[in-house]
Amino acid sequence: MLSEHTEVQVRPGTEGDLASLTELYNHYVRETAITFDTEPFTPEQRLPWLRSHPEDGPHRLLVAHHVRNDRKETDGGILGYATSSAFRPKPAYSTSVEVSVYLSPDAAGRGVGTLLYGALFEALAGEDVHRAYAGIALPNEPSARLHARFGFRHIGTYGEVGRKFGRYWDVAWYEKRLGPADLGPAAKASPEA
């Protein structure tokens, strides 16, 4: 619980966060259909995922945590994290990212997701990223509202695309424009001799 002497700060994720991040993610693996992973991970299994999100560039990992104002020390508790990851492996997709946010169960509904996405999109503003995509397993109204708040628009739904907990789940896909405007015809045409 937040007191008058604590605040929430966002910073890049580090290997020191790996155990807490794995524990947070495993909650969603075990308890929800929000992720389609079906078996919990060890921190060692999640290490390549963490390392695929450096401090700079288009693929980021940001964590939110409590900070005590008096000493600016963290209390060790991660409230959530947001990522931007490669959308697809082929080179032409390099200007698109898939984004996600995961919150500790006690942080939901407290503005932490908004804080994380705000920091993530601010960090991506200087990167060569043109589109962000988010897949939301349905139903998940809080996630749909968060993405709408950040300007995502619904572009389609895959019906019954994943099976978990003995049933099929739909995934809604959302898109957000980032970065500079589309290349116009003049920019795409080759210069005349």
pLDDT digits (tens, 9 = 90+) for 154-183: 999 999 999 999 999 999 999 999 976 555
- pLDDT tops 60 at residue 24: yes
Q: Residue 188: its pLDDT value, please?
A: 47
Question: pTM here?
Answer: 0.86
Q: What is the average per-residue pLDDT within 56-69?
A: 90
- pLDDT tops 60 at residue 70: no
- pLDDT tops 90 at residue 113: yes
Per the prediction, the chain carries an average pLDDT of 89
Share of the chain above pLDDT 70, in %: 85
**Is the C-alpha dihedral spanning 120, 88, 44, 22 positive or negative?**
positive
Token pair in block for residue 69: 């104002």
Q: Residue 67: its pLDDT value, please?
A: 84
Q: What is the pLDDT of residues 74-106, one digit of tens each?
A: 455 899 999 999 999 999 999 999 999 999 998
Q: Which residue has the higher pLDDT, 44 or 69?
A: 44
Q: Residue 109: its pLDDT value, please?
A: 86
Q: What is the average per-residue pLDDT within 44-59?
A: 95
